[in-house]
Protein backbone atom coordinates (compact mmCIF):
# COMPACT_ATOMS: atom_id res chain seq x y z
CA UNK A 1 0.00 0.00 0.00
CA UNK A 2 1.48 3.31 -1.10
CA UNK A 3 1.19 6.13 1.44
CA UNK A 4 1.39 9.84 0.66
CA UNK A 5 1.74 12.27 3.56
CA UNK A 6 0.67 15.67 2.30
CA UNK A 7 0.97 19.23 3.54
CA UNK A 8 4.43 18.64 4.99
CA UNK A 9 6.02 21.90 6.17
CA UNK A 10 8.93 20.88 8.39
CA UNK A 11 12.02 18.72 8.13
CA UNK A 12 11.05 16.91 11.35
CA UNK A 13 7.60 15.94 10.05
CA UNK A 14 9.13 14.71 6.80
CA UNK A 15 11.70 12.64 8.70
CA UNK A 16 9.03 11.00 10.86
CA UNK A 17 6.98 10.15 7.78
CA UNK A 18 9.98 8.64 6.02
CA UNK A 19 11.01 6.60 9.08
CA UNK A 20 7.45 5.30 9.40
CA UNK A 21 7.44 4.11 5.79
CA UNK A 22 5.85 6.84 3.67
CA UNK A 23 6.33 6.54 -0.09
CA UNK A 24 5.43 10.10 -1.09
CA UNK A 25 5.92 13.43 0.68
CA UNK A 26 3.60 16.16 -0.55
CA UNK A 27 4.22 19.91 -0.62
CA UNK A 28 1.27 22.25 -1.16
CA UNK A 29 2.02 25.24 -3.38
CA UNK A 30 -1.61 26.38 -3.70
CA UNK A 31 -3.41 28.75 -1.29
CA UNK A 32 -3.98 26.71 1.86
CA UNK A 33 -3.11 26.74 5.54
CA UNK A 34 -0.49 24.17 4.54
CA UNK A 35 1.03 26.23 1.74
CA UNK A 36 4.81 26.22 1.57
CA UNK A 37 7.31 28.24 -0.44
CA UNK A 38 9.37 26.50 -3.11
CA UNK A 39 12.51 27.47 -1.19
CA UNK A 40 11.30 25.81 2.04
CA UNK A 41 10.13 22.73 0.15
CA UNK A 42 13.50 22.44 -1.59
CA UNK A 43 15.25 22.61 1.78
CA UNK A 44 13.10 19.77 3.16
CA UNK A 45 13.38 17.81 -0.07
CA UNK A 46 17.17 17.86 0.15
CA UNK A 47 16.95 15.84 3.39
CA UNK A 48 14.83 13.05 1.90
CA UNK A 49 16.22 9.69 0.79
CA UNK A 50 16.36 9.15 -2.97
CA UNK A 51 13.52 6.58 -3.00
CA UNK A 52 10.96 8.98 -1.47
CA UNK A 53 8.93 10.68 -4.18
CA UNK A 54 8.45 14.42 -3.77
CA UNK A 55 5.00 15.60 -4.87
CA UNK A 56 4.05 19.19 -5.62
CA UNK A 57 0.35 20.03 -5.22
CA UNK A 58 -0.97 22.76 -7.52
CA UNK A 59 -4.42 24.26 -8.15
CA UNK A 60 -5.08 25.83 -11.56
CA UNK A 61 -1.45 26.94 -11.92
CA UNK A 62 0.21 27.70 -15.24
CA UNK A 63 2.37 25.01 -16.79
CA UNK A 64 5.29 27.43 -16.85
CA UNK A 65 5.12 28.11 -13.10
CA UNK A 66 4.64 24.43 -12.24
CA UNK A 67 7.73 23.49 -14.23
CA UNK A 68 9.75 26.28 -12.64
CA UNK A 69 8.79 25.17 -9.11
CA UNK A 70 9.25 21.49 -9.94
CA UNK A 71 12.81 22.16 -11.09
CA UNK A 72 13.65 24.31 -8.05
CA UNK A 73 12.27 21.77 -5.54
CA UNK A 74 13.37 18.64 -7.39
CA UNK A 75 9.86 17.24 -7.66
CA UNK A 76 9.21 13.73 -8.92
CA UNK A 77 5.44 14.06 -9.25
CA UNK A 78 3.03 16.91 -10.00
CA UNK A 79 -0.43 16.72 -8.45
CA UNK A 80 -3.14 18.68 -10.24
CA UNK A 81 -5.81 19.52 -7.69
CA UNK A 82 -7.89 22.04 -9.59
CA UNK A 83 -9.87 22.12 -12.85
CA UNK A 84 -6.90 21.45 -15.10
CA UNK A 85 -7.84 20.06 -18.52
CA UNK A 86 -6.10 17.04 -19.99
CA UNK A 87 -3.99 19.34 -22.17
CA UNK A 88 -2.22 20.64 -19.05
CA UNK A 89 -1.29 17.15 -17.85
CA UNK A 90 0.01 16.27 -21.32
CA UNK A 91 2.54 19.13 -21.15
CA UNK A 92 4.14 17.96 -17.90
CA UNK A 93 7.30 15.81 -18.18
CA UNK A 94 6.62 14.33 -14.73
CA UNK A 95 4.44 11.66 -13.23
CA UNK A 96 0.98 13.19 -12.74
CA UNK A 97 -1.56 12.66 -9.99
CA UNK A 98 -4.95 14.16 -10.89
CA UNK A 99 -7.38 14.83 -8.07
CA UNK A 100 -11.10 14.32 -8.61
CA UNK A 101 -13.76 15.33 -6.07
CA UNK A 102 -16.03 12.32 -5.80
CA UNK A 103 -19.48 13.18 -6.99
CA UNK A 104 -21.21 11.36 -9.82
CA UNK A 105 -21.35 14.31 -12.22
CA UNK A 106 -17.61 15.00 -12.18
CA UNK A 107 -16.47 11.44 -12.70
CA UNK A 108 -18.16 10.53 -15.98
CA UNK A 109 -15.01 10.54 -18.11
CA UNK A 110 -12.36 10.10 -15.43
CA UNK A 111 -10.84 7.08 -17.17
CA UNK A 112 -9.78 9.18 -20.16
CA UNK A 113 -7.70 11.68 -18.18
CA UNK A 114 -3.95 11.28 -18.93
CA UNK A 115 -2.42 10.67 -15.49
CA UNK A 116 -0.42 8.09 -13.58
CA UNK A 117 -2.77 8.13 -10.57
CA UNK A 118 -6.37 9.17 -9.97
CA UNK A 119 -6.66 10.76 -6.52
CA UNK A 120 -10.24 10.39 -5.30
CA UNK A 121 -11.01 13.15 -2.79
CA UNK A 122 -13.94 14.60 -0.90
CA UNK A 123 -16.17 17.19 -2.60
CA UNK A 124 -14.65 20.68 -2.60
CA UNK A 125 -14.77 22.62 0.68
CA UNK A 126 -13.01 25.84 1.67
CA UNK A 127 -9.83 24.55 0.05
CA UNK A 128 -9.20 21.99 -2.67
CA UNK A 129 -8.40 18.99 -0.49
CA UNK A 130 -7.27 18.81 3.12
CA UNK A 131 -10.77 19.46 4.45
CA UNK A 132 -10.88 16.40 6.68
CA UNK A 133 -14.16 14.97 5.40
CA UNK A 134 -14.78 11.54 3.92
CA UNK A 135 -17.05 10.74 0.97
CA UNK A 136 -19.23 7.72 0.18
CA UNK A 137 -16.54 5.11 -0.50
CA UNK A 138 -19.04 2.97 -2.41
CA UNK A 139 -19.00 5.58 -5.19
CA UNK A 140 -15.29 4.88 -5.69
CA UNK A 141 -15.99 1.18 -6.11
CA UNK A 142 -18.31 1.84 -9.04
CA UNK A 143 -15.74 3.63 -11.19
CA UNK A 144 -14.46 1.96 -14.36
CA UNK A 145 -10.80 2.71 -13.65
CA UNK A 146 -7.73 0.64 -12.94
CA UNK A 147 -7.47 0.07 -9.17
CA UNK A 148 -3.68 0.10 -9.53
CA UNK A 149 -3.97 3.81 -10.37
CA UNK A 150 -6.30 4.84 -7.52
CA UNK A 151 -5.11 6.89 -4.55
CA UNK A 152 -7.80 7.36 -1.92
CA UNK A 153 -7.96 10.66 -0.01
CA UNK A 154 -10.46 12.68 1.99
CA UNK A 155 -10.89 12.50 5.74
CA UNK A 156 -8.63 9.50 6.28
CA UNK A 157 -7.32 8.97 9.82
CA UNK A 158 -5.40 6.31 11.75
CA UNK A 159 -8.79 5.09 12.99
CA UNK A 160 -10.61 4.65 9.65
CA UNK A 161 -7.78 3.88 7.23
CA UNK A 162 -8.09 0.09 7.50
CA UNK A 163 -11.81 0.09 6.69
CA UNK A 164 -11.20 2.54 3.83
CA UNK A 165 -8.56 0.31 2.24
CA UNK A 166 -10.65 -2.83 2.64
CA UNK A 167 -13.68 -1.22 1.00
CA UNK A 168 -12.05 0.73 -1.84
CA UNK A 169 -9.01 -1.47 -2.57
CA UNK A 170 -6.83 1.45 -3.78
CA UNK A 171 -3.18 1.33 -4.79
CA UNK A 172 -2.41 4.09 -2.33
CA UNK A 173 -3.79 6.48 0.28
CA UNK A 174 -3.22 10.19 0.87
CA UNK A 175 -3.47 11.92 4.24
CA UNK A 176 -3.09 15.49 5.46
CA UNK A 177 -5.51 16.75 8.13
CA UNK A 178 -5.90 13.21 9.52
CA UNK A 179 -2.32 13.29 10.83
CA UNK A 180 -2.65 16.69 12.50
CA UNK A 181 -3.52 17.99 15.94
CA UNK A 182 -4.58 21.65 16.18
CA UNK A 183 -3.50 22.22 12.58
CA UNK A 184 0.05 20.89 13.00
CA UNK A 185 1.48 17.56 11.96
CA UNK A 186 1.30 15.11 14.89
CA UNK A 187 4.21 12.68 14.85
CA UNK A 188 2.33 9.95 16.71
CA UNK A 189 -0.57 10.18 14.26
CA UNK A 190 1.82 10.04 11.31
CA UNK A 191 3.35 6.82 12.65
CA UNK A 192 -0.04 5.28 13.51
CA UNK A 193 -1.56 6.12 10.13
CA UNK A 194 1.29 4.71 8.09
CA UNK A 195 1.57 1.58 10.25
CA UNK A 196 -2.18 0.89 9.96
CA UNK A 197 -2.21 1.52 6.20
CA UNK A 198 0.80 -0.71 5.53
CA UNK A 199 -0.63 -3.57 7.61
CA UNK A 200 -4.01 -3.64 5.87
CA UNK A 201 -4.52 -6.03 2.99
CA UNK A 202 -5.91 -4.08 0.05
Phi then psi for residue 117, to 5 deg, are: -140, 140
Confidence of residue 105 (pLDDT cuts 50, 70, 90): confident
Give me the percent of the chain exceeding a pLDDT of 90.
80
Confidence at residue 132, expressed as pLDDT on a 0 to 100 scale: 62
- Does the pTM surpass 0.85? The reply is yes
Confidence at residue 97, expressed as pLDDT on a 0 to 100 scale: 98
| Mean pLDDT of the chain, nearest integer | 92
Domain boundaries, the chain: 2-198
Give me the percent of the chain exceeding a pLDDT of 70.
95
The DSSP bridge pattern shows strands 53-58 and 150-152 to be: unpaired
95-109, 112-126, 157-171, range with greatest mean pLDDT: 157-171
Does the structure show a pLDDT above 70 at 113? yes
| Mean pLDDT value across residues 70-99 | 97
Work out the number of other CB atoms within 10 angstroms of the CB of residue 34. 22
Catalytic residue status for 6: yes
Confidence at residue 139, expressed as pLDDT on a 0 to 100 scale: 82
DSSP for residue 189:
H
Which has the closest alpha carbon to 17: 62, 47, 43, 42?
47
Does the structure show a pLDDT above 70 at 88? yes
Confidence of residue 29 (pLDDT cuts 50, 70, 90): very high
Which has the closest alpha carbon to 136: 107, 98, 177, 114?
107
Work out the number of other CB atoms within 10 angstroms of the CB of residue 149. 17
Which of 23, 115, 121, 174 is labelled catalytic? 121
Confidence at residue 1, expressed as pLDDT on a 0 to 100 scale: 96
What is 2-198's CATH topology? TIM Barrel (3.20.20)
Amino acid sequence: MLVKTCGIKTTDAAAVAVQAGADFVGFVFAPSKRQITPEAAASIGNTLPFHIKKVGVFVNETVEDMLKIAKKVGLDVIQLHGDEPASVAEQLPYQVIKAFPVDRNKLKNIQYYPCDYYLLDSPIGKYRGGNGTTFDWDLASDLAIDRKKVILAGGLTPENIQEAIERVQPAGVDVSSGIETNGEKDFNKIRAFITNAKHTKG
